[in-house]
Amino acid sequence: MSDDESKEEKELDLSSADVVTKYKLAAEIVNKALQAVLAECKAGTKVVELCDRGDSYIKTQTASVYKNAKKKIDKGVAFPTCVSLNNTVCHFSPLAGDETALSEGDIVKIDLGCHIDGFVAVVAHTHVLQEGPVTGRAADVLAAANTAAEVALRLVRPGKKTRDVSEAIQKVAAAYDCKVAEGVLSHQMKQFVIDGNKVILSVSNPETRVDESEFEENEVYAIDIVTSTGEGKPKLLDERQTTVYKRAVDKSYHLKMKASRFIFSEISQKFPLMPFTARQLEEKRARLGLVECVNHELLQPYPVLHEKTGDLVAHIKFTVLLMPNGSDRITGHSVQDVQPSSTVDDPEIKSWLAMGIKSKKKGGGKKKKGL
């Protein structure tokens, strides 16, 4: 590898100021997109309208940045806007004709992502559609998710291991008499990679195993936390609700149906690396073609999962940069007033929450030498 190539490869992580700038610009756009969707969360509003609002905001804002760059910079939606209600866990981004609408008292989970030059910022936020403070079990499940997110932010740091985070968020959820949902993964992210190899497993079970790894400086993570008042074992109830997919770039297969080949060609051109929603495709052909593509593993589906009716689910996701001076959470939204039925008295959880986010300079570092 030449020096130029080596330099270019090195600059693709947070050691490059340009990379940090792109992450932070993507985060600024995604945070504002979340605010735009939240502003339209009113009883009677259709979920599909909210999803379109989030996606169109990201597309409009990303179109106006890096317009005069010397080389074309890919940018736009990194994860299509999903709005999941009540006991629905995630990934609900319905097709255009869907009539699902918000009602007063709904627990609304908004999940979306943006990228600039492949550097991804994602966010998920939970909001209860009501005036005044949130109480009862809705407050418990929200407090569990938010407190777990605060603990995770402090434990995702160089030297700590992925298992430390998994165990901590489960302990926090239990303190509010809630469960962490199985199957939810937090991923390291790299340029054009939304689900890298380093993974934090929220709950270990026989079906899902991941290798333990250690966090390192200059890494980026999407920390994804889902808490439930139910069993924490979400199920796929209806495959037809699944509309979010990502192309599996390492798979190939000669598709038999003309509709499948048409759709896969469209996906390869428009969404070669990032997740997308079927709503963005030519609908009649998509309905036929997506099935064959999924059956032969050309596409990875993001299923719509549900806890049992009556269970309440909260979802918090944020992007964190592991900078040399500490962790920098770049996505998120302030939480509404919640009054959970229990307070956290566990000394270990309190000690985690008391940890600083910024790193202290190590002895003998550059700062001391310059004194």
Whether residue 369 is predicted with pLDDT greater than 70 in this model: the reply is: no
Would you state the pLDDT for residue 27?
98
CA distance 192 to 205: 29
pLDDT band of residue 288 (cuts 50, 70, 90) is: confident
Whole-number average pLDDT of the chain? 91
222 lies in the same domain as 250 = no
334 lies in the same domain as 279 = no
Given the structure tokens 């009113």, which residue do they identify? 42
pLDDT single digits (tens) 97-148: 999 999 999 999 999 999 999 999 999 999 999 999 999 999 999 999 999 9
DSSP 255-271: --SHHHHHHHHHHHHH-
pLDDT band of residue 68 (cuts 50, 70, 90) is: confident
Q: What is the CATH number of the domain that holds 48?
A: 3.90.230.10
274 lies in the same domain as 321 = no
- Bridge partners, residue 109, by sequence: 84, 126
189 lies in the same domain as 288 = no
268 lies in the same domain as 125 = no
Would you state the pLDDT for residue 208?
67
26 against 362, higher pLDDT: 26
Among the listed residues 183, 185, 199, the one whose alpha carbon sits nearest the alpha carbon of residue 232:
183
60 lies in the same domain as 159 = yes
177 lies in the same domain as 248 = no
Would you state the pLDDT for residue 285?
80
CA distance 235 to 214: 30
Would you state the pLDDT for residue 286?
87
Burial of 290 (0-12, 13-18, 19+ CB in 10 A): buried
131 lies in the same domain as 254 = no
Number of Cβ within a 10 Å radius of residue 280: 17
CA distance 139 to 145: 10
Cβ contact 204:166 at 8 Å: yes
Range of lowest pLDDT (132-146, 202-216, 273-287): 202-216
341-363 average pLDDT score: 84
Q: Is residue 175 part of a domain?
A: yes
Number of Cβ within a 10 Å radius of residue 233: 15
**Both structure tokens of 212:** 């333990």
Range of lowest pLDDT (20-29, 73-82, 282-291, 337-346): 282-291
CA distance 81 to 216: 30
Would you state the pLDDT for residue 206?
64
pLDDT band of residue 360 (cuts 50, 70, 90) is: low
237 lies in the same domain as 273 = no
**Both structure tokens of 369:** 């030498």
pLDDT band of residue 88 (cuts 50, 70, 90) is: very high
Question: Using the 8-state DSSP alphabet, how is residue 362 labeled?
Answer: P
DSSP H or E run through 85: strand 75-85
Would you state the pLDDT for residue 359?
67
Q: Is residue 7 part of a domain?
A: no
118 lies in the same domain as 41 = yes
Q: Is residue 332 part of a domain?
A: yes
Boundaries of domain holding 292: 243-302
16-42 average pLDDT score: 97
180 lies in the same domain as 290 = no
| Count of CA atoms in the C-beta half-sphere (13 A) of 139 | 14
Whether residue 329 is predicted with pLDDT greater than 60 in this model: the reply is: yes
pLDDT band of residue 325 (cuts 50, 70, 90) is: very high
186 lies in the same domain as 297 = no
**Both structure tokens of 209:** 């195993």
359 against 230, higher pLDDT: 230
- Bridge partners, residue 227, by sequence: 180, 314
Q: What is the CATH number of the domain that holds 279?
A: 1.10.10.10
Burial of 306 (0-12, 13-18, 19+ CB in 10 A): buried
- Bridge partners, residue 358, by sequence: 326
Cβ contact 106:123 at 8 Å: no
Whether residue 364 is predicted with pLDDT greater than 50 in this model: the reply is: no
Would you state the pLDDT for residue 202?
86
Would you state the pLDDT for residue 6?
45
Would you state the pLDDT for residue 70?
84
Q: Is residue 353 part of a domain?
A: no
CA distance 19 to 348: 36
Q: How far apart are the first and last CA of the chain?
A: 39
DSSP H or E run through 244: strand 244-247
Our count of domains for the chain comes to 2
CA distance 195 to 331: 17
351-363 average pLDDT score: 77
